[in-house]
Amino acid sequence: MHPETVASCHFASGLISCTLKEIGYRLGETNALNNIGVVYRLQGKQEKALEFLQGALALSKEIGHRRGESNALNNIGLVHANQGKMEKALEFFQEALTLSKEIGHRVGEADALNHIGTVYANQGKLAAALDRLREAHGLYQTIGAKPIILQRIEEIIQQLTTLQRTSNQTIKTP
């Protein structure tokens, strides 16, 4: 994305967030804070992303927006993973998973499982990674996720299965 476009997007998002706060639309404010945090994360500005995502998490908890809380937890976990803080990332993903299961937020549950599986893969915990990714794949299928998401997870599962075979680790099938 062109820097001028990013700046105008941030400026517009900030205006939206301020306006939502002024009119008392707290749910919209949590979504705006979360979305701004995601944009910063994607730009590589992890500390700035964390600032907005923690605001989204706090406000979601304050107003009882459990789905927003789950989304913020997953996104905070991604920031920590981007910073190389894998154990901290796992804590947030696990909390998002628990909450998502509790409230029936299937997308949040699938996302958390996907993120946990990815962290485990990066840590070399192939059997655990495969378990989580297969579970995420099944949930994504159930909820009708975009084919590209399913395809990407299938590719990762295939790569991890091959890696696991070549490293003589036992393969756990679903």
Contact 60, 33 (CB under 8 A): no
Asked whether residue 2 falls in the same domain as residue 68, the answer is: yes
Q: Indicate the average pLDDT of the chain.
A: 85
Q: Between the CA atoms of 8, 12, 18 and 23, what dihedral angle is there, to the nearest 10 degrees?
A: 170
The answer to which of 70-79, 84-93, 141-150 has the lowest mean pLDDT is: 141-150
Q: Count the domains in the chain.
A: 2
Crossing angle (nearest 10°) for helices 46-63 and 26-42: 160
Q: 151 or 84, which is more confident? A: 84
Q: Whole-structure pTM over 0.85, yes or no?
A: no
In a domain, 169, yes or no: yes
Digit-coded pLDDT (tens) for 26-82:
888 899 999 999 999 999 999 999 999 999 999 999 999 999 999 999 999 999 999
Domain that includes residue 123, residue range: 105-174
Asked whether residue 78 falls in the same domain as residue 10, the answer is: yes
Digit-coded pLDDT (tens) for 2-29:
333 333 344 445 545 555 555 466 888 8
Q: 146 or 38, which is more confident? A: 38
> What's the confidence (pLDDT) of residue 18?
55
- Single out the residue in 56, 85, 114 at which a domain terminates: 85
In a domain, 139, yes or no: yes
Whole-Å CA distances, 48 to 18, 40, 43, 64: 17, 6, 10, 24
Q: What is the CATH number of the domain that holds 15?
A: 1.25.40.10
Q: What is the CATH number of the domain that holds 124?
A: 1.25.40
In a domain, 97, yes or no: no
Q: 113 or 26, which is more confident? A: 113
Asked whether residue 67 falls in the same domain as residue 130, the answer is: no
> What's the confidence (pLDDT) of residue 26?
81
Digit-coded pLDDT (tens) for 90-109:
999 999 999 999 999 999 99
**One-letter amino acid for residue 119 of the chain:** V
Percentage of residues of the chain with pLDDT beyond 70: 82
In a domain, 93, yes or no: no
In a domain, 92, yes or no: no
Contact 141, 150 (CB under 8 A): yes
Asked whether residue 77 falls in the same domain as residue 112, the answer is: no
